[in-house]
Each structure stands twice: as structure tokens, then as C-alpha cells.
Amino acid sequence: MSIPLLQVALDNTSLEDAIASIEQYGHLIDIVEVGTILHVAEGLHATKTLRAMYPDKILLDDIKGADAGKTLAELCFGAGADIMTAICAADINTMIAMKKVGEKMTPVRDVQIELYGDWTYEQAASWLAAGIDQLVYHRSRDAELAGKTWDTPDFEKIGKLCEMGFKVTITGGLNKEDLHLFKDYPIHCVIGGRSIRNAANPAAEAQAFQTEIRRIWGAK
């Protein structure tokens, strides 16, 4: 299996905080994410600033777009994002509209679907048919706060989505101690958020994630 990428979600409530955080470990990670919270707080100013800070990193804008795909894609890709997210509840035409904007750009930009709530494998097949092959399997932060842990149905769904041909990103309060739970799956990307941002030493924690990812997936 290939080695999963490491992404950090900047879910800070201000750009100032996000910058102070990412400066500590940005060089150690693969994907810089403008988290939904940061984007809600600061808009495209956050996207543009992080693009300027990290011209060579993959920049993901987690806006969870639900409609008006063309306009949102023009905004997010135009501000420098390589990848933007759509919510799974969006109409397929919204996702396709985003994808089309990205395909016309150089380099090509891409769309990733955020799985929340109810979705079906039939929908997932329609995303693949439209050329959208990246998705995020999510344990909701609020479901997590309400006590939901990673369990068998999660792993079954992740396995099936990988088999279908999706590049699957996993997220939702992940600690490095959780990563081994996913060892049997060809995970495309792991998102660390609070566990890295709020660590006593965020750089050491980011490095520890990378080491653990290589320990688990590197030997295969």
C-alpha cells in the first residue's frame, strides 16, 4: 500500500491563530487545510494567505460546498486552493460544476466529498462516474462529543469505499494512537487537527504522526 498523506485541518477561529499554529509544523505535513471554522471566520483571506505561505504544499479548502458549485469553485480555486470539498448532500450537478472549473485550470484542481449523515453506495457510484474519486470519511466532531467511537460499521464502510476505487481520507478527532485501527485499508490521507494543533509540541506531534503512518503502512 502507498503511504497515507498527513493533512492538518486549521480549524482556528482566526487567521492569526492559524498562522501561529501552522508555522510550527507546516514543513512536516503534506496537506495544509483551511478548516471550515477558519474559512467561516476569515473567508478567502485565509486561503490566499496560506497559499502565499506554502506555495509548494497541497492546499485544501474545506468549505463543504452544497450549491452554486461553479461560483464557489471559482472563488476557492481562484484563491489558490488545490482541492475544495463538497458536502455529500449536494446535488451531483454541484459537484460536477466544481470539478469542471478545476479541470480547466493549470495545474488541475480537484474536488473532495465530505461524508456526513446519510449517504448511499449508489450516490458514491454516481460520484465516481462523474470522475470524483476523493472523499473524506468523517466522525462528526459533535457525534464524537456525544460519545461516538470508531466502530465496525465505520471500518466496513471505509473498506468498501476503498474497494470501489475512492481515495479515502479519514478524520474526526484522530490521535496517532488510533491510526493502527485503519491498518488494513489503503488510506489515502489522515487528517490530524486538534491532536496536532493543541499538542504541547505540535512539531513533535506532527513528526510522530508521520513516523506512525510509516510504521503502519510503510512496511507493506
Residues marked as catalytic: 36-37, 64, 67-68, 72, 114, 138, 141
| DSSP H or E segment with residue 130 | none
Segment interacting with a copy of itself, rule: CB under 8 A, options 20-28, 31-39, 158-166, 203-211:
31-39
- 43 touches a copy of itself by CB under 8 A: yes
- 129 touches a copy of itself by CB under 8 A: no
Residue in the block written with cell 482556528: 12
Q: Which residues, including other chains, have CB under 8 Å from residue 190's CB and lie 6 or more apart?
A: 4, 5, 6, 7, 169, 170, 171, 174, 179, 182, 209, 213
Residue in the block written with cell 465505520: 154
- 76 touches a copy of itself by CB under 8 A: yes
Residue in the block written with cell 508555522: 23
Reply yes or no: is the peptide bond before residue 202 cis, omega within 30 of 0.
Answer: no
- 67 touches a copy of itself by CB under 8 A: yes
Dig out the grid coordinates for 195 from the structure: 491532536
Nearer to a copy of itself, 90 or 179 (CB): 90
Dig out the grid coordinates for 92 from the structure: 451531483
Rounded least distance, CB 215 to a copy of itself, Å:
29
Residues in the chain: 220
Alpha-carbon gap, residue 65 to 83, rounded angstroms: 12
**How many residues touch a copy of itself (CB under 8 A)?**
48
Segment interacting with a copy of itself, rule: CB under 8 A, options 23-31, 81-89, 124-132, 152-160:
81-89
Q: Which residues, including other chains, have CB under 8 Å from residue 115's CB and lie 6 or more apart?
A: 88, 135, 136, 137, 138
* From 18, 31, 42, 185, residue interacting with a copy of itself (rule: CB under 8 A): 42
- 153 touches a copy of itself by CB under 8 A: no
Segment interacting with a copy of itself, rule: CB under 8 A, options 91-99, 101-109, 161-169, 210-218:
91-99
- Residues near a copy of itself, by CB under 8 A: 11, 13, 36-37, 39-46, 63-72, 74-76, 87-91, 93-94, 96-97, 114, 116-120, 123, 138, 140-143, 145-146
